[in-house]
Amino acid sequence: MKILAVGDIVGEIGLNKLKELLPNIIEKENIDFTIVNAENTSGGMGLTIKDFNTLLKLPIDIMTMGNHTWGKKDIFAFIDNPKLIRPANYSKGVQGKGYQICNCKNKKIAVINLIGRTDMNVLSENPFTVAEELVNKLNKEADAILVDFHAEATAEKIAMKYFLDGKVSAIFGTHTHVQTADEEVTENGTGYITDIGMTGPKKSVIGMDVKVSIKRFVTSLPERYKLAEGEAILNACVFELDDETLKTRNIYRIKY
């Protein structure tokens, strides 16, 4: 079984790139299951109902979110859609679901979305204790578990790798928009990469207009957020799972 995880969609440019390439990637790589991080799709922050409906038309099984989950007020109209999950360690009682179980090739695939706490400016529950509770629960209900850990700190993501090693099929990081070159399959069969990157404007500072971003760093003054324009890139990662054990046996990055 081959799982495709696509890096954060950033703005309309990223969404158009996904529409252009996703069907071809799925066919070329013989993908069985697709996960896309959608929290930056609409204007770089959040997800509107218009863009969500566009994503629903694409061959995507699960969309994950992150620190900009509530960036657009539209979200409350469709947050309970079974194809959309938000971080499971948001405060209890918050609308939406932090995981979903899907059927794929006669197997049950669970996808968990978590958010980090280091330098994220989001008040959330402990991602490690929430992950442990969910994994213990889902191991009884699903054949494989995949985790999108939306976090800033590489150390926090790597710690999660060791914490869940052998307990889940794969863990991939999102949020930093820069694809890392540390993909691996652990000794216990968990596929891991610190960040799968982004799907958005190539000439940018993690999706943001270069001049605006430089001005913010040079002057330390607030500057209106502006998305970059121009050519787009698509970053993703493929996890190849053993059909019997559903442990990861191969992992490789994709960059267009």
Which residues are the active-site residues?
68
Largest interatomic CA distance in the chain = 56
Sort strands 62-64 and 33-37 into parallel, antiparallel or unpaired: parallel
Residue 131, both tokens? 């992950």
At residue 15, what are phi and psi to the nearest 5 degrees? Answer: -65, -40
With tokens 């559903």, the residue in question is: 246
* Nearest C-alpha neighbor of 109 from the set 148, 141, 149: 141
Strands 191-193 and 232-241: unpaired
Residue 49 corresponds to which tokens in the numbers above? 């109902």
Segment (H or E) for 110:
strand 107-115
